[in-house]
Structure 1
Amino acid sequence: MGRIDISVVIPLYNEEENVPLLLERLKEVLTTLGRTFEVVCVDDGSTDRTVEILKGLKERYPFLRVVVFRRNFGQSAAMAAGFDFARGDIVISMDGDLQNDPSDIPRLIQKLEEGYDVVSGWRRQRRDPLFTRKIPSMIANWIIGRATGVRLHDYGCSLKAYRREVVKNISLYGELHRFIPVLASFYGARIAEIPVRHHPRRLGQSKYGLSRTYRVILDLLLMLFFKRFATRPLHIFGLLGGGMILLGTAIEVYLSVLKIFYGEDIGGRPLLLLGILLIITGVNLFGTGLLAELLVRTYHESQGKPIYTVREVIE
């Protein structure tokens, strides 16, 4: 099965009521583009009739491809599977709850073809509950933008357009689907953002909640580590370990001076134990950094993965 022009990737989890209307709207929009296209629906272990409905719609929509998970693996895994199965030179991702509007896809593609590698949707008029969705999202977007340097208004919007080479070089796991623009920026991708429509959910139940906030924070810390120290882990572990060793050594020297020159008893001082703990922890961190360096070098050298990416070669 060869390459085509456009792939639309849609993770699904218990969306039996939305799937038929979503596919019909996608057909109406994509057929007007005059390009070859496919829709890759990834069922993430649905417990309702989503898979059964998709199978029934396959004859009506020959462009439909369905990937069915054995169990629920999460949205990032579903997105990653969709990217792996996508054959398009342009890959569009979107939610399956009809809150993203398929009619925005041509605008995303048009912006992408202006020379960008990733175009992210911005739900400027977001139709979600204020206190449980909109305000936490605004805070998270501000923190992520300032921390990573990739300034977007709406990281949580699933409606995005990518060039094929971007999604094929991104590994997703955990909850990293919301950080795809950050991961793409590691490869030097050009990123743009345009306003898109957003509709309130009318059918089915939302799968999002405040429980994801803690996971977003942990993933943000992981992104910061990837951005600054992914290819040089010894810089962070060595810095922390070296600082602890120096501080612990200074404490022990200070106590030794008190013992030798002033005859003070230092055996019962908590400061003595603190100094020893700092030195031991510092040595462990430094050793961890060396091991991490070996792992990074093994990863790149064994798989032939360069530590750089090339946009083009001009002969």
Structure 2
Amino acid sequence: MDLSIVVPIYNEEENIPVLHSRISEALADTRLAYELILVDDGSADNSYSSLKVLAGKDSRVKVVKLRRNFGQTAAMAAGFDLASGRVVIPMDGDLQNDPLDIPLLLNKIDEGYDVVSGWRKDRKDTFINRKLPSMIANGFISKMTGVHLHDYGCTLKAYRREVLEDVNLYGEMHRFVPALAHQVGARVTEMPVRHHERLHGVSKYGISRTMKVILDLMTVTFLLSYSTKPIQLFGRWGIYTLCAGFLSGALTLYMKFFEHTSMNRNPLLILTAFLIFMGVQFIVMGLLAELVARTYYEAQGKPIYNIKEKVNFG
């Protein structure tokens, strides 16, 4: 199988036939062996019925129905787990992504890249509610992860299948896959893709998702930098805090013996106790995180490295 296209579907009844038609037309002349995996994420309309009709007409269409609405990341993860193509391309089911970009993404993959991220350079969305928050988030994510992309939120991306095998998705983390893949040595690039206005249905995204993205960004930043050495993060802050506590305590003693300031009336005494307590807490958190990290890797037999290629190992 050359290609797996994964499309999460949530209340897109009117868009499904058009989506299938456009994908078929876009790939008609490519001679690629492909599959179209459509994941119904607990739709409340007749989306699943439309998907089953398509599957009955086209053997390349594979349909998955989740028991309830788990969210876009979970639906995408289900599609990734079932994909068998050497390249996996997720895309939205609202017709805003253009299937004509799929061959272009594949050409970029053939240049030697492992991940090609779409960039909706001419995005057809409202500025205040969609484009502005996205611009701010993309700049922030690029700075925090070190992987500089213009459009982390674009679903249309291309991944070599082996890259996805090393990435586990939770929360809203589908947008961070390029950064997580870069962590294990994947070559990541981006290219401009088309973007269309929504014709049917209503958008499921809004500014309320910003908080979820921020929280997941904190998780991703930790995973990228400290997942195998958490004591380096918590222990460092513990030492800094303890040092500040000892300095505060020394100043408290100096004020008592040389300036005759009563310790029980000196707020620095409370600050000293607080800083020393927090320093100990940080170090204990780091040690506990080390135990969790070791349990995570050792219980699964999961290595802390990633091999790209082996020669003469049989």
Give the structure-1-normalised TM-score: 0.95
Q: How does 1:53-92 map to 2 (within 5 A)?
A: 53-92=50-89
Question: Which residue does 1:22 correspond to in 2?
Answer: 19
Specify which of 129, 138, 156 is matched with residue 132 of structure 1: 129
Q: Which letter does structure 1 place at the counterpart of 2:201?
A: G
Letter in 1 for 2:225: R
Name the residue aligned to 1:95: 92
Letter of the 2:154 partner, please give it.
C
2:53 equivalent to 1:38: no
Task: Classify the secondary structure of the residue corresponding to 2:57.
Answer: coil
**How far has the Cα of 1:32 moved from its partner?**
2.2
Amino acid at match of 1:163: R
Residue 117 of structure 1 pairs with residue 114 of structure 2: yes
The answer to whether structure 1 residue 215 and structure 2 residue 212 are counterparts is yes
Instruction: Please name the residue that 1:143 is paired with.
Output: 140
Q: CA deviation digits over 1:101-138, x for unaligned, max 9?
A: 11110110111011010011111111111221112212
How large is the RMSD of aligned CA atoms in angstroms? 1.3
Give secondary structure in 2 for the equivalent of 1:162: strand
Residues 262-271 or 76-85, more deviating: 262-271
Query: What does residue 240 of structure 2 align with?
Result: 243
* Counterpart-to-counterpart distance in 2, 1:270 and 1:61: 75
Amino acid at match of 2:103: P
The answer to whether the 8 A contact 2:48-2:65 is kept is: yes
Q: Which residue of 2 aligns with 1:280?
A: 277
Query: Which of 176, 192, 198 does residue 195 from structure 1 map onto?
Result: 192
SS at match of 1:45: coil
For residues 255 and 111 of structure 1, what CA distance do their matches in structure 2 show? 64
Of 255, 258, 263, the residue aligned with 2:255 is: 258
SS, match of residue 307 in structure 1:
coil
CA distance in 2, matches of 1:262, 1:145: 51
Structure 1 residue 264 displacement after superposition: 2.9
**Is residue 8–residue 72 contact of structure 2 (8 Å, CA) maintained in 1?**
yes
Deviation at 1:254, TM superposition (A): 2.0
Q: TM-score, normalised by structure 2?
A: 0.96
Tell me by how many angstroms 1:306 deviates: 1.2
Matched residue SS, 1:141: helix
| Residues 119 and 190, structure 2, Cα contact 8 Å, conserved in 1 | yes
| Paired residue type of 2:241 | M
How far is the alpha carbon of 1:83 from its aligned partner? 0.4
One-letter amino acid of the structure 1 residue matched with residue 68 of structure 2: R
Structure 1, gaps ≥5 residues long: none
CA contact under 8 A between 2:252 and 2:266: conserved in structure 1?
A: no
What residue ranges of structure 2 are gaps of 5+ in the alignment?
Answer: none
Select 1:300's aligned residue among 278, 297, 301.
297
Deviation at 1:261, TM superposition (A): 4.9
